[in-house]
Amino acid sequence: MRRIDHRSGWFGVGLAMTLWGGSAALAATFEPAPISPELGLDVLDRSVTEEHLERALLAAPYAVAALGTVDVYDVFPYVESRFFVVVSDPDWNRIVVTETGSGTLSAFDGSGTEVGPLSRPHGLTVGRDGWLFVCDTENDRVVVLEPHIEYDHLGFIPHASIDGLSRPFDVTVSDAGTPLDPADDRLYVVEAGANRITRFDHDGGRFVAVSSIGGLGTGPGRFAGPTAIAASTLDGVTQIYVAEAHTGAIVRLEDHEDGLQWESRQRVEGGRVTGLNTDRFGNLYLTAPSDGCVRKLDSRLEPLATLRGLQEPKDFFIPAVRTTDHRNGHVDWAGHGTGVLVEKWSRDSGLRLFDLGVDVTDLEAREAGDGLTARFRLTDPADVTMRVLDPTTDGVLAERVVGALGAGDAEVGMTDRDLMQDLPAGDYLVEVTARSEYEGAGRVARSRIEVSLSYGMAGGTLAFAGSHPNPFVGSTEFRLALPANVVGDVEVDVFDPSGRRIRTLSTPAASGSVALRWDGRDQSGHDGGSGVYLYRVRLGDWERSGKVVKLQ
């Protein structure tokens, strides 16, 4: 059914989509996820829209942006979630929006509104407050649209127009590291017609240009055909990445109190880049149509992973999710564990989803001094554990819980104190496991490699690795490495902040790795809420205690 609203410039048709992705047991940096489980679809392409909507829907999609909201109530419906995905279509002078709550697709071309018709819109992005920023390229402006929810339908109302630009081609928003404070949000625009980057601040109902840098050239402070932009704030410093068409390079800027500063230019593989995006860990995603791939780099522009075999990809976007608990007023922001990809619009390519997990690559292991050393690369921040396994039985002979590590190259060592029993000279397996830090992903990557010990290692001590993760959301594990011939039960007592014991966990002691999982609930199954909890771990006369922090 077609619905037309001339006052808002929107039309909508029904087609259910989801952005919540899958929950694979094994992790991967780019794991394909269904775009519509209800219809059994892995891709939204021209053939799907012609079959279900009786129209092509898009001509040549260019950029994509997305945002999710989750509202928690103490009455029905208890939990309400919405996701919207926006795609620009320069050939048809409009943007297309899907909203998962209502399962509708809508389009906006500006006709009949105060901003007037769009003309070849390209880059777009969405702010933390849900405002949509669209580069209306041939009109030399950025159109600002405010979200409006009526019943189950999500639309946008024209809010402002940033005029007087020079062929704006891409736009990004930075929250300056404070996602819950919109007052310091900043807007960065690629003005392709002037080879310039301009920063705008939101001042009441206006957007004010406060700093710019650029001009045609390949030297410091110049740009050679800027096409895409992304921003990330880490350790209080906002970094801006700009892709150049003529040099195939990424220019890195920093935003300081005295304005935008040019830092470096670095060539990257893959030809022209049409899309840039960052995740919450500061990693950078480059979309390269001619190379048919999305490349993932760390904040230093070192390669982490590549998604290949794509059909002229244009953009890859990782949305944020705003969770509002109306029971206590708590608001939280988190990067979502799913990315949206836009490819060439055809009968077998278009919009696709990829779950974001973690991979362990380039694993090496060797003897080092009185122990073992493993070197590897993480594609994302993760909770890491290193183990030595019996190559015949896969039994755990040694374990070291490393904890949280960032993306990139890592080196982890293991000594006698990590052993559960003596290791004679011989052949073993070294295993590195990494649990993704994406909220709710629950995905674990594993990598193994053979290693030979030319000399033995003495072991046989009990080791307690603490609780991981800590702080935690959902559940945490108390982990121990037990030597051979140990007897008894391992018990964990959990106490609330007042010192009252609320939960006891227990499992028989056995040689190897032992993990006791606590789901944050008391003995009756009630959730005690966020806070600092005390714990005591016991095995016979051995005892350890500590603190664990539960977050909502």
Asked if the model's pLDDT at residue 407 lies above 70, the reply is yes
- CA separation (Å) from 433 to 50, 197, 391? 44, 42, 16
Q: What is the DSSP letter of 21?
A: -
DSSP letters of 482-497?
A: E-TT--SEEEEEEE-T
Domains of the chain (ranges plus CATH)? Answer: 3-355 (2.120.10.30), 358-459 (2.60.40.2550), 462-552 (2.60.40.1930)
Model confidence pLDDT, tens digit, residues 137-194: 999 999 999 887 665 566 788 989 999 999 999 999 987 666 656 667 899 999 999 9
386 touches 470 (CB < 8 A): no
pLDDT tens, 102-135?
Answer: 557 788 999 999 999 999 999 999 987 788 999 9
Q: How far apart are the first and last CA of the chain?
A: 41
The pLDDT tens digits for 58-95 are 999 999 998 877 888 888 777 777 788 899 999 999 99
pLDDT tens per residue, range 357-391: 889 999 999 988 667 899 999 998 888 999 999 99
Q: Are 433 and 444 in contact (CB under 8 A)?
A: yes
Tell me the DSSP string of 443-487. Answer: -EEEEEEEEEESS-B-----EEEEEESSSBSS-EEEEEEE-TT--
Task: Tell me: pLDDT of 19 over 80.
Answer: no
pLDDT (tens digit per residue) in 313-332: 999 999 888 788 888 888 77
What percentage of the chain has pLDDT greater than the value 90?
Answer: 46
Q: What is the mean pLDDT of residues 275-291?
A: 94
The pTM score is 0.80
Q: What's the rounded Cα separation, in Å, for the pair 24 and 42?
A: 15
Rounded-to-integer distance, Cα 339 and Cα 441, Å = 13
Strands 43-45 and 350-355, sheet pairing: antiparallel
Find the mean pLDDT for residues 425-443: 80
Token pair 């775009």 is at which residue? 35
Written as one string, the DSSP assignment of 53-76 is TSS---SS---EEEEEEEEE-SST
Q: Which of 479, 456, 459 is nearest to 467 (CA)?
A: 479
Average pLDDT value for the chain: 85
